Amino acid sequence: MIFLKRREMKKWEIFFCFLALGLASTSPLMGQKMGFVREGYVLEKMPEFRQIQESMAEYQKKARLKIQEQQEAFLKKVEKFQQEAELGTSQALLENEAKRLQTERQEILAYQQALESEYSDSLNKSLRPVYEKFQKAVEAVSGEQGNIYIFRDEALLFEVEENDLSDVVLKKLGLTPTENVPNRGNLKASNKIGYLNVDSVVTRLPEYKEAVKALQTYRQQQEAMLKQQETDLRQAYEKAQELAQSGTASEEAKKKAAQLVQKQELDLQDAAQSADSLYQVKYQEKLSPILKKVEAQVELVARENNYTFVIRLEASFFEPKEHDLTRLILKKMGVELAATNEN
């Protein structure tokens, strides 16, 4: 559970990188220059990247329209089904039509998932040469600076402006930086590096424990709601079957029972499919304020202790214990660890 990680890191690359720098030594002061690049910042200023974004946005727009057309056509069929039920269509025909509608609904969902997969594959293929061009520019800048190490900003929790080589990479790509930040790119001659296990901090905070309880309660409520809908659907189906086999029930009663089953089936499918996305929204709502609070304390501790880099623990395979900032940050946040307590 890595809360602040924006995307999966290539651990082995960063491990060898930091090992070569001598992070296994007892001193966090590296007597050489190092830099980092904000990948998103650079890519968004590359014309070919923006062109791909525009092209894929148009692709998404057309895909959404097609899905919308399918959904609207499906809803018209559902309305027609309901009208036929009211007009006295036989129970057997209604049951067959209900099954056909349910199959068509699943086909629409499968088509939507296929479009999303196709979009992802097409995007990755289109971006591959752009990333290769970006990588070559980063390598060239590293060589010009003396074959220095250049890190992705995703590996870092804190960095200083001087070590930001993003604009230098932009210039290497033949592009003009739009920001004018003093000292950006004027690399520090030496660096002090710390690291942090974000989970170790977050999970010890009282507000995190409260958030977990709230999320557990929310999930239980979701499960209870789905269970109740399943019970309601089962009872509605049993009632419809009972009426269909009854020799005294009116056709009107049979039709209404069949309509209720169809409606509850659709409602249950919608609720089940949206449950996870709703939970993720609630998760972000509860965790985002905590993460922002931790980020603020990381910057405060780093500046107070003259660190130029704070790396994510998951970006390293080995790190000297004396440069772990967990205790300092927790102390700033009012949480004390026992002397023998491991991070």
Of 149-153, 165-169, 183-187, the range with the highest mean pLDDT is: 165-169
The answer on pLDDT for 262 being more than 90 is no
**Which phi-psi region, left, alpha or beta, contains residue 163 (left: φ > 0; alpha: ψ -120 to 50)?**
alpha
Q: For position 9, what pLDDT does the model report?
A: 42
- pLDDT of 174 strictly over 70: yes
Q: Are 7 and 153 in contact (CB under 8 A)?
A: no
What confidence tier does 342 reach under pLDDT thresholds 50, 70, 90?
low
- Model confidence band, residue 20 (pLDDT cutoffs 50, 70, 90): very low
For 12, half-sphere exposure in the C-beta direction (CA atoms, 13 angstrom radius) is 0
Which letter, b or e, does each residue of 114-142 get, where b requires 16 or more Cβ atoms within 10 Å of its Cβ?
A: ebeeeeeeebeebbeebeeebeebbeebb
Whether the predicted pLDDT of 327 surpasses 70: yes
121 phi/psi in degrees, rounded to 5 = -65, -45
Instruction: Write out pLDDT tens, residues 104-135.
Output: 888 888 888 898 899 899 999 999 999 999 99
pLDDT(343) > 80: no
Residue 112: is it exposed, middle or buried by C-beta count within 10 angstroms (0-12/13-18/19+)?
A: middle
Give residues with Cβ within 8 angstroms of 43, minimum separation 6. 49, 130, 131, 134
Q: In which band, very low, low, confident or very high, does the pLDDT at 248 lie, cut at 50, 70 and 90?
A: confident
- Specify the DSSP element, H or E, that contains 48: helix 47-87
Q: Residue 3 has what pLDDT?
A: 39
Residue 167's pLDDT is 95
What is the C-alpha separation between 158 and 192, in angstroms, rounded?
11
296 compared with 17, residue with greater pLDDT: 296
Average pLDDT over residues 263-291: 91
Of 243, 209, 288, the residue nearest 4 (C-alpha): 288
Structure token digits, residue 25: 């030594």
Q: What is the dihedral of CA 325, 327, 330, 335, to 10 degrees?
A: 180
In sequence order, which residues have a C-beta less than 8 Å from that of residue 146 and are 6 or more positions away? 32, 33
Q: Which two tokens stand for residue 309?
A: 């880099």
Q: Is the pLDDT of residue 270 over 90?
A: no
Number of H helices, E strands in the chain: 9, 6
Contacts for 169-175: CB closer than 8 Å, 24+ residues apart: 169/37, 169/42, 169/134, 169/137, 169/138, 169/141, 170/42, 170/45, 172/137, 172/140, 172/141, 173/42, 173/46, 173/133, 173/134, 173/137, 175/45, 175/46
pLDDT at 305: 93
